[in-house]
Structure 1
Amino acid sequence: MGVLFTLALFFIIVLHELGHAAAARFFKISTKDITLLPIGGVARLEKIPEDPIQELVVAVAGPAVNLILAFLFYILIILSGVPFDLSQLDLIRGNLLAQFFWTNIILAGFNLIPAFPMDGGRILRGLLGIRMDFLHATRIAASVGQTIALVFGFIGLFSNPFLILIALFVWFGASQESNMAEVKFTLSKTSISQLMLREFHVLSPYDTLAKAVEMTLATQQHDFPVIDNDRLVGMLYRADLLMGLMQKGQEASVDEVMSRDFISVEASDKAEEVFSKIQSLPYSAIPVTDNGLLVGLLTKENIAEFLMFHSAIAEKKSKSFIQR
């Protein structure tokens, strides 16, 4: 019975996450994957809905699935004629249908706590987002979540240590969400041309892999645009170079191993639109073009450095404002 209950619990969690995925799909947002964890599940969406109403609907969909399931289990309990007292909560010795009923009620209630990364935190941000911008809504929601985490942690010191684990989970979840909102806000005001590397090396399709190795060792560049008659025809990534050296040798030409299927961006594009895209790529550099001509390289390292410097400048301005 214990094994059956555990399997059913994970199945219920999957249905909860599928609720989020279905709501997101309604708004044409795909779900990359669903990960099951010991304390729940996570549906990783392609992007966070920008419309606060959409985020509200997607966030509510998960707990709504649990409440619907709880209602269905309650109907089954009534139809089965099993004695059931709503005032008594028993997840261990109760009837299996009653256990599933209470499990869904608890999952819905826990996820409605207004703290990231629970659904309640996203619901709170969605409600706040109707009246204010995304960044300020996230900051307030994250602050509420961290306050709740402190309360959980304090109570956990004198009662259940599991509350301390939940407090840490909520605290770091709120911090991560706040940081991601700051990144999104910063990059939304930044174009690719402000981030890209303007000084970089290129290769010709007719260069040998030996030359590519020489350039890699002589510079800090790992990925090279391949140019033929001023036209970008490919990218030689480090993985391609290593594979080519092992399979074809250093005298092979770049043309034989370069990637012809690659992603490029325009210099005028907003950095926010490209950020999530480059994070999921197996390589670290994307060529930047302007009217078809190669003008730069965008790397994960450069984005990270820009955010680091921007954060330092913003902190300095904040301290100067406080001192006044």
Structure 2
Amino acid sequence: MSWSFPIGRLLGSELRVHATFFLLIAWIGASAWMAEGPASAIVNIAFILALFSCVVAHEFGHALMARRFGIRTPDITLLPIGGMARLERMPEKPGQEIAVALAGPAVNVAIWAILAIGLGARTELAALGSLEDPATGFLSRLAAVNLFLVLFNMIPAFPMDGGRVLRALLATRLDRVRATQIAARAGQVIAFLFGFLGLTTGNVLLLLIAVFVFMAAAAESSDVALHARTHDVPARDAMITSFEALAPGDSLDTAARALVRTTQTEFPVVSPDNRLLGMLTRAAIASGVQNDPPQMRVSAVMATDIPALRLDEPLEHALDALSQPAVPAVAVTDARGIFLGYITRENIGEWMILRRRSRP
């Protein structure tokens, strides 16, 4: 996700913080400082950090459960409205999706139990209305928030956890695309309700949540539909076969001239025996021309971790690979590994347009 910064790795996932999260911390600290002084600011910032530690634990609940089904979680990003675990793919079996969805709230239940039962913190949802009041008690506020996170996340508003459970239950009787469409529509209806409440009460955070839920529901529905359309389509049907390739010994100056001469935004770097060594993007060429000597070889600045598919593999696998960060293209090879072409996000979109037009 753009505007996010890595802060370390934990349990196999990279932890990232979105830049806007620091604005939230600054706003809370400044508000508390002006209202009650520096001591209140420190307590409130400490509470927000503890709260978002619980949010991160919630996301790791999803990640660790997904790992049991062979699904990696490359990164977890902390946002002002919560956390987001980016799974490399969602489990397609309804039972697995339910388990992954419920694992996050289960972590918050465990945290609440430790605070309320183990440490004796009082749990009153009414404390949510005075989270900024230190008199309520640090642990009591934290216990109440964890209970609230469970209830809030189980609202059947896709793509929240409750919405994913709803989609999985629907998928036991409907196809996955139709189940996703229904769950996404339910999420958008609830997003409208959130937005209305946010407008009438002046709650900016509720408005932000409404916008996020609405857009994420639409994006998930579109993504699932696209995966369904590409499931039985071979990669050869959408690959680019007319392109200009570069040799690893070519200079950046040669690549820059090729960029001007052609309409390509990615240039395969191919060995003499027609095997892909890497991919040189337009951004890498522009950066290299500005910062590196023109004689520098393209092999020094190309992206080398390029996923590859066979000609007859499903195009859906290319979609999964292209959803990962820093993947400009997916190579297509024959059974011997000879490079034949490549697939980008843009030409999948063009293939979709042509496919719609060709339908009677």
What range is the shorter-chain TM-score in?
0.7 to 0.9
Q: In structure 2, what is the equivalent of residue 65 of structure 1?
A: 107
- The alignment status of 1:237 with 2:280, answered yes or no, reads yes
Of 79, 89, 95, the residue aligned with 1:53 is 95
Q: In structure 1, what is the equivalent of residue 15 of structure 2?
A: none
**Contact in 1 for aligned 2:253/2:289 (Cα 8 Å):** no
The one-letter amino acid of 1:35's match is T
- The alignment status of 1:28 with 2:65, answered yes or no, reads no
Q: In structure 2, what is the equivalent of residue 321 of structure 1?
A: none
- The alignment status of 1:175 with 2:218, answered yes or no, reads yes
- The alignment status of 1:226 with 2:226, answered yes or no, reads no
Scaled by the length of structure 2, the TM-score of the pair is: 0.74
Q: In structure 2, what is the equivalent of residue 128 of structure 1?
A: 170
The one-letter amino acid of 2:311's match is A
Structure 2 vs 1, CA of residues 214 and 113 (structure 1 numbering), >3 Å: closer, same or farther?
Answer: same
Which segments of 5 or more consecutive residues in structure 1 lack a partner in the other structure? 318-324
Structure 2 vs 1, CA of residues 212 and 68 (structure 1 numbering), >3 Å: closer, same or farther?
Answer: closer
Q: In structure 2, what is the equivalent of residue 90 of structure 1?
A: 127
SS state of the match for residue 90, structure 1? helix
Of 288, 296, 299, the residue aligned with 2:341 is 296
Structure 2 vs 1, CA of residues 94 and 261 (structure 1 numbering), >3 Å: closer, same or farther?
Answer: closer
Which segments of 5 or more consecutive residues in structure 2 lack a partner in the other structure? 1-42
Structure number, greater radius of gyration? 1
**Contact in 1 for aligned 2:158/2:184 (Cα 8 Å):** yes
Q: Deviations over 1:271-301 (max 9, x none)?
A: 1112121333535333321233332222232
C-alpha displacement at 1:254, in angstroms? 6.5
| Number of aligned positions between the proteins | 308
Structure 2 vs 1, CA of residues 281 and 262 (structure 1 numbering), >3 Å: closer, same or farther?
Answer: same
Q: What is the rounded CA distance, in whole Å, between the counterparts of 1:133 and 1:105 in structure 2?
A: 33
SS state of the match for residue 89, structure 1? helix
Q: What is the rounded CA distance, in whole Å, between the counterparts of 1:127 and 1:294 in structure 2?
A: 42
Q: In structure 1, what is the equivalent of residue 16 of structure 2?
A: none
Structure 2 vs 1, CA of residues 72 and 192 (structure 1 numbering), >3 Å: closer, same or farther?
Answer: same
SS state of the match for residue 15, structure 1? helix
The one-letter amino acid of 2:329's match is A
C-alpha displacement at 1:260, in angstroms? 6.6
Of 285, 306, 313, the residue aligned with 2:351 is 306
Q: How does 1:1-324 map to 2 (within 5 A)?
A: 1-76=43-118, 78=120, 84=122, 89-91=126-128, 92=130, 93-162=135-204, 163-204=206-247, 211-221=254-264, 222-229=266-273, 231-232=274-275, 234-235=277-278, 237-238=280-281, 239=284, 243=288, 249-250=294-295, 262-280=306-324, 282=326, 284-292=328-336, 293-310=338-355, 313=357
The one-letter amino acid of 2:163's match is G
Q: What is the rounded CA distance, in whole Å, between the counterparts of 1:118 and 1:150 in structure 2?
A: 15
Structure 2 vs 1, CA of residues 308 and 109 (structure 1 numbering), >3 Å: closer, same or farther?
Answer: farther
Structure 2 vs 1, CA of residues 260 and 18 (structure 1 numbering), >3 Å: closer, same or farther?
Answer: closer
Structure 2 vs 1, CA of residues 295 and 40 (structure 1 numbering), >3 Å: closer, same or farther?
Answer: same
The one-letter amino acid of 2:58's match is H
Structure 2 vs 1, CA of residues 210 and 123 (structure 1 numbering), >3 Å: closer, same or farther?
Answer: same
Q: Deviations over 1:194-227 (max 9, x none)?
A: 1011222334566666554443322212403424
Q: What is the rounded CA distance, in whole Å, between the counterparts of 1:276 and 1:235 in structure 2?
A: 19
Q: In structure 2, what is the equivalent of residue 320 of structure 1?
A: none
SS state of the match for residue 197, structure 1? coil
C-alpha displacement at 1:153, in angstroms? 2.9
Scaled by the length of structure 1, the TM-score of the pair is: 0.82
Structure 2 vs 1, CA of residues 226 and 112 (structure 1 numbering), >3 Å: closer, same or farther?
Answer: same
Q: Deviations over 1:297-318 (max 9, x none)?
A: 22232123223444x549x97x
SS state of the match for residue 150, structure 2? helix
C-alpha displacement at 1:24, in angstroms? 1.0
